[in-house]
Structure formats: C-alpha cells, structure tokens
Amino acid sequence: MSESIVVRNVSKEFTLRYHRSIKQMTIAAMRRQEISEKFSAIDDVSFTVQQGESVGLMGLNGSGKSTLLKLINGVMRPDKGEVLTRGRIAGLIATGAGFHPRLTGRDNVYLNAAILGMTQKETDAKFDQIVEFADIGKFLDVPVGNYSSGMFSRLGFAVAVHTDSDIFLIDEVLAVGDKPFKQKCLARMEEIRKEGRTMFYVSHAARSVRRMCDRVLVLEGGRLGFDGPTAEGIRYVKYDDPKSTGDELAEGLDDEELGADI
C-alpha cells in the first residue's frame, strides 16, 4: 500500500472580528478593547491515510471538518505543517462550489467537470450518466441560480462521482438530499470505495459512517480527538451524551438529526 494523504502537524488560524463598523472599531480601540482574536480552526493535526482507505470524519459543528477537507483539497493552505496528497482529487466540499448561477445545469456540468480536471471529451462521454444520476429532469436547461439546495447538491454530486480520481472527498452534502437520492449516493460511494480509491467522508450519521468507513477521525475544537476503528470512533462521538449507552440510541439520533440517513 502507498500513502495517499499525509497531514503533518497542520494548523490553520482564522481571525474573529467582534466589531463591524468603523465607529464601533474606533470606540473599541479607544477603550483598549480587543477588536479581533485569532483562533485555530485546525490545531496541530497529524495523520496518514493509505491509498484505498475509507475514512469517516466526525465532530461537532465548527470543529474544523470542512476546513480540514479544504486543506486536503488544496483550496486552502495551512499556516503551519504540511499536507501531501497523491493523485487526482475529486469530490464535493461545498454545495454549489464551482457552479455559476447564471449558467444552466447543462453548462455547469461542463464547468464543474473542468474544475475537477476533466476534459470536454471525457465529460461528453459521461454526460448522459451524469444527467441520469442527477435526475433533475427539465431543470437541466434552467440557470442553476433558480435551483433548490437539494437540486444543487444532486448535480454537484453527480459530476463528482463520475470524475476519475484517486482521492474522493465528500462533505455533509448528503444531508440535504431526499431519501432515495441518499440511497443512490451511498451505493455509488460504495462502488468508489471498492474501486480502491481513498475516501474521506464527513458525516454526523453513525449508520452511514459504519457502512462506509474503515476508520474514523474525530475533530474536537480543531484538534484530533480520536483516530481509530469505526465502531470505537462512533462510540467516542456519542461519549458526551449521558443517555447514550449503545448503538440503538445512536441509530435513533441519526434518524432525528438527518431524517434517516439510509
């Protein structure tokens, strides 16, 4: 096996600003109050993923999951440490990323595919499959600015799963799809996994993580709180819940939070 993703002592800081207007900032400065504060969205995180591993990334809102995906994807650079990846990266890290609102769904398929590194010829060859997967019917020729977030995510996901890549990243986007579409996406993700591609899957849904992942990473306030086998990782995320004793409860929470993930 070869290394697919190496994240070494990576940190990423953001600046929080408390005051919005110049007046508020001036008053704050006169009173010698802080007007901004740096905080670490990712704090000294290290791990290595082998080619073909399927990793679930879990953690509370704001714990840094999306930031970590962006660092792996290369849309953001770490302030400290290094991120190394091998091969082509595809996936969906934000709903609507890489889409132009005034272009139609059809044109956006080409645009999005090009951003993911596909040539026009490759996209032509896969176009029908992409459209069938997205299943958005007559909306294909409507500007995507008029799409619902569910339709956005269908089209984005359809393009992403038809891109050849060595690494496939997927951020919570499944949460907005309806149940049949989620089923279809999970089935397609299983195929991607079987093809030996590395998968990085952000989800709160214990059930789909259990189905999809060999390993779980848990972020806590930007730090890596857990890195290990899936079942243990899922137990770890439910650790804080005093009522949580076992799996039935975890499944119950899934259904409540996500309207049944599978």
Query: Which residues from 224-243 bind ligand ADP, rule CB under 6 A?
Result: none
Residue 64 binds to ligand ADP (criterion: CB under 6 A): yes
- Cβ within 8 Å of residue 152, ≥6 positions away: 95, 96, 99, 144
Minimum CB–partner distance for residue 249 and ligand ADP (Å):
23
Q: Which of 67, 95, 123, 153 binds ligand ADP (CB under 6 A)?
A: 67
Give backbone dihedrals phi and psi of 22, rounded to 5 degrees, phi first. Answer: -60, -40
Residue 123 binds to ligand ADP (criterion: CB under 6 A): no
Minimum CB–partner distance for residue 171 and ligand ADP (Å):
7
Residue 73 binds to ligand ADP (criterion: CB under 6 A): no
CB closer to Mg ion out of 5 and 92: 92
Minimum CB–partner distance for residue 106 and Mg ion (Å):
29
Residue 18 binds to ligand ADP (criterion: CB under 6 A): no
Q: Are 7 and 83 in contact (CB under 8 A)?
A: yes
Q: Which does 210 bind (CB under 5 to 8 A by kind): Mg ion, ligand ADP, none?
A: none
Residue 14 binds to ligand ADP (criterion: CB under 6 A): yes
**In Å, what is the CA distance from 34 to each residue of 1, 12, 221?**
50, 21, 22
Residue 66 binds to Mg ion (criterion: CB under 5 A): yes
Question: Taking the CB of residue 221, how many other CB atoms lie within 10 A of it?
Answer: 15
Q: Which residue has the tokens 């929470």?
A: 253
Give backbone dihedrals phi and psi of 241, rounded to 5 degrees, phi first. Answer: -80, 110
Residue 54 binds to Mg ion (criterion: CB under 5 A): no
**How far is the C-alpha of 203 from the C-alpha of 185, rounded, in Å?**
13
- Part in contact with Mg ion (CB under 5 A); list of ranges 31-39, 60-68, 74-82, 93-101: 60-68
Q: How many CA atoms are closer than 13 Å to the CA of 238, on its beta-carbon side?
A: 22
Structure tokens at 197: 């591609």
CB closer to Mg ion out of 64 and 233: 64
**In Å, what is the CA distance from 21 to each residue of 27, 37, 158?**
10, 17, 42
- Part in contact with ligand ADP (CB under 6 A); list of ranges 24-32, 54-62, 150-158, 244-252: 54-62
Q: Which does 258 bind (CB under 5 to 8 A by kind): ligand ADP, Mg ion, none?
A: none
Residue nearest to Mg ion (CB): 66
Q: Are 24 and 104 in contact (CB under 8 A)?
A: no
Structure tokens at 18: 């408390």
CB closer to ligand ADP out of 134 and 174: 174
Q: Which residues pair with 47 in a beta bridge?
A: 7
Minimum CB–partner distance for residue 163 and ligand ADP (Å):
22
CB closer to ligand ADP out of 70 and 182: 70
**3-state SS, residue 102:** coil
List contacts with ligand ADP (CB under 6 A): 14, 41, 59, 61-67
